[in-house]
Amino acid sequence: MGFGRFVASLFGKRTEPRAPLPEAEERDYGRSELAAYDGSDPGKPLLIGIRGQVYDVTRGRDFYGPGGPYAMFAGKDCTRALAKVSFEAELFNGNTDGLEPDELEKLEEWIEMFEGKYRRIGRLL
Ligand code: HEM
């Protein structure tokens, strides 16, 4: 082992780059189409839908990729689940009917986070 690699290993740095991330296409996505971007194909980006918009969350693959704590978000409309801060499968849809003011506020906070951290690539049709 060379000195550089030895030092890198002490700090837990990766000496080999990870495979390049798949690029998400900037366009609108149909609801049924989104499901193909759920992480089951490592060659495809990870996409999620929130309140009519699609975000590329590929760089957050440790959260949303297979085996991640939020893997169930990938390829889905997460609007209602995020508003209610719940993982219940039946909440992964775009229905905002009857959400309480605090839930709508929570949803806004999530959207702000996604806007800041990820790329919005199109509309969820
Ligand atoms: C068991 C309860 C939970 C714990 C302990 C927890 C813990 C955490 C922690 C520590 C982070 C920050 C990770 C980081 O930035 O390194 C995080 C991020 C996040 N959590 Fe949770 N969480 C919980 C439940 C939930 C639920 C119920 C939802 C939504 C339905 C949720 C959605 C998220 C999202 C969207 C992120 C941002 C991930 C990103 O940066 O892309 N979490 N959580």
- The CB of 63 under 6 Å from ligand 1? The reply is yes
- % pLDDT > 90, the chain: 82
Distance CA 121, CA 26 (A): 5
Domain assignment present for residue 2? The answer is no
Q: Range of 76's domain?
A: 24-123
Residue 19's pLDDT is what?
A: 76
Residue 15's pLDDT is what?
A: 64
Per-residue pLDDT reduced to its tens digit, 5-37: 666 666 766 666 677 889 899 999 999 999 999
What letter would DSSP give residue 73?
G
Domain assignment present for residue 15? The answer is no
Our count of domains for the chain comes to 1
- Our mutation pick for probing the ligand 1 site, out of 50, 59, 63, 93, counting the most ligand atoms within 8 A of Cβ, is 63
Per-residue pLDDT reduced to its tens digit, 55-84: 999 999 999 999 999 999 999 999 999 999
Which CATH number is 112's domain given? 3.10.120.10
